[in-house]
Amino acid sequence: MKIIRNIEALRAVVASSKKERKTIGFVPTMGFLHEGHMALVKAAKAENDIVVMSIFVNPTQFGPNEDFESYPRDEARDTSLAEQNGIDILFLPSVETMYPESLTATIHAQKRVSVLDGATREGHFDGVLTVLAKLFHLVQPDGAYFGQKDAQQVAVVQGFVADYFLPLKVRVIPTVREQDGLAKSSRNVYLTEQERADAPVIHMALRRARMEVKEKDKTRVLANIRAIVNQKKTHEKIVYLDMYQYPSFEPVEDWEKPIIIAICVQYSKARLIDNEIIGGA
């Protein structure tokens, strides 16, 4: 595995891979790797000649009161996991490498972002798209791999890639969970013991809602999820809970088309998100 920290070295390996006509699968992450990330790697390996992973905690996608500083980081552990999982190129840029100057232009997300994380994390998706624009230009992937856990991110990235005719496939990988159903997340390490014991209720409530959607009563479906989650007492609050058509994130009008139920729960030190997509593929 090659570890690369600067732009010139990355450009050089990408250029030589392209020259050899190797396809490139790209897995952008913020590190503190877990099996969710590795499911993306596995798909990328299966579909490409080489796999590039980036680990970069991107400051521009964090708001001023969010957890940029405290986001879990462990480069030694990540490097060894990346190596074990067969990554070819691990890109570990610093903030100065990715943002050497203040930006002349940023990418502004304007569709699919008026709700959920777009509404509660101001500027979040602008930061995500801006860093992805940089990374896509550098890595020139044939396919980029994203997790369904961040479903709104997937929808925004798919829209961006289509808008700008970017020559890459966006591949979406199902959410990898702990045995008790909790979605794997780097932020899970910040749950207290009791919060960790309670947090699987999020997935449990969403799963149960799957059955109730047949009755086409949005208010009831959401009220039931809220009631189940709130049976546990350790979380601070439900930051959002709502349902939309997927992937448009427009209000539910056609119950036969794919619907997403998305939730965000704030614990003392961790903000967890999860979702369930009902119908469609």
Interacting residues toward ligand AMP by CB under 6 A: 29-30, 36-37, 39-40, 146-147, 149-150, 173, 175-176, 183-186
Question: Smallest distance, Å, CB 149 to ligand AMP?
Answer: 4
Q: Is 137 in the active site?
A: no
Report the alpha-carbon angle 25-26-32, nearest 5.
Answer: 135
Question: Smallest distance, Å, CB 190 to ligand AMP?
Answer: 13
Question: Smallest distance, Å, CB 34 to ligand AMP?
Answer: 7
Compute the distance between CA of residue 250 and CA of residue 110 in angstroms, rounded to an integer: 13
Closer residue to ligand AMP (CB): 22 or 187? 187
In the 3-class helix/strand/coil scheme, how is the chain assigned residue by residue?
Answer: CEEECCHHHHHHHHHHHHHCCCCEEEEEECCCCCHHHHHHHHHHHHHCCEEEEEECCCHHHCCCCCCCCCCCCCHHHHHHHHHHCCCCEEECCCHHHHCCCCCCCCCCCCCCCCCHHHHHCCCHHHHHHHHHHHHHHHHCCCEEEEEHHHHHHHHHHHHHHHHCCCCCEEEEECCCECCCCCECCHHHHHCCHHHHHHCCHHHHHHHHHHHHHHHCCHHHHHHHHHHHHHCCCCCCEEEEEEEEECCCCCCCCCCCCCEEEEEEEECCCCEEEEEEEECCC
Closer residue to ligand AMP (CB): 181 or 279? 181
36 is in an annotated binding site: yes
112 is in an annotated binding site: no
Question: Smallest distance, Å, CB 264 to ligand AMP?
Answer: 14
Closer residue to ligand AMP (CB): 170 or 252? 170
Question: Smallest distance, Å, CB 176 to ligand AMP?
Answer: 4
35 is in an annotated binding site: yes
Question: Smallest distance, Å, CB 129 to ligand AMP?
Answer: 13
185 is in an annotated binding site: yes
150 is in an annotated binding site: yes
125 is in an annotated binding site: no
176 is in an annotated binding site: yes
Closer residue to ligand AMP (CB): 252 or 264? 264
Q: Which residues contact 117 (CB under 8 A, 6 or more apart)?
A: 124, 125, 152, 153, 264, 273
Closer residue to ligand AMP (CB): 4 or 156? 156
Closer residue to ligand AMP (CB): 138 or 176? 176
Question: In terms of Cα–Cα distance, which of 154, 134, 144 is closest to 249?
Answer: 154
> Residues within the annotated binding site for beta-alanine?
61
> Residues within the annotated binding site for ATP?
30-37, 147-150, 176, 184-187
Instruction: Give me the active site residues, please.
Output: 37
> Residues within the annotated binding site for (R)-pantoate?
61, 153
